[in-house]
Structure 1
């Protein structure tokens, strides 16, 4: 798979919680951190997402917000 998205993180699905229209997918990244994504239930089903599935997390740069403490 070749994509223009530069923010690509490898991980493994920890859990998939399917609702009526949406699914919440928790992914453990290679470094041990976890990230959560909300996608359509149809997309989760099409991708056959389940615990243990290897995935690539793609983060669009314009969707990232930074903050300081």
Structure 2
């Protein structure tokens, strides 16, 4: 499968480096140029994609809430 177009600007290309499978949800870690992006997705989605460690992946994200903290 390939993506021919998407309107999300927040995209990070990388490689799946770890998948922690759970019965309902799984954590997927993607190593990108800016660091590791971690996402919690349904395990059925991991199976449907199908995602495996070492696979190229695209992390797409949309933030409705962004928390900001002051650093001293």
Distance change (3 Å), C-alpha of 1:4 and 1:45: same
1:64 and 1:56 map into 2 onto residues whose CA distance is 21
**Bigger Rg, which one:** 2
More helix by proportion, 1 or 2? 1
Task: Return structure 1 stretches of 4+ with deviation > 2 angstroms.
Answer: 61-68
| C-alpha contact (below 8 Å) 1:16/1:51 kept by paired residues | yes
Higher relative contact order (CA 8 A, sep 6+): 1
**Mean Cα displacement is larger for which, 40-49 or 54-63?**
54-63
Question: Cα RMSD over matched residues?
Answer: 1.4
Q: Which structure has greater strand proportion? A: 1
Where does the alignment leave 5 or more consecutive residues of structure 1 unmatched? Answer: none
Residues 42-61 of structure 1: pairs in structure 2 closer than 5 A: 42-61=44-63
Partner of 1:41: 43
* Number of aligned positions between the proteins: 68
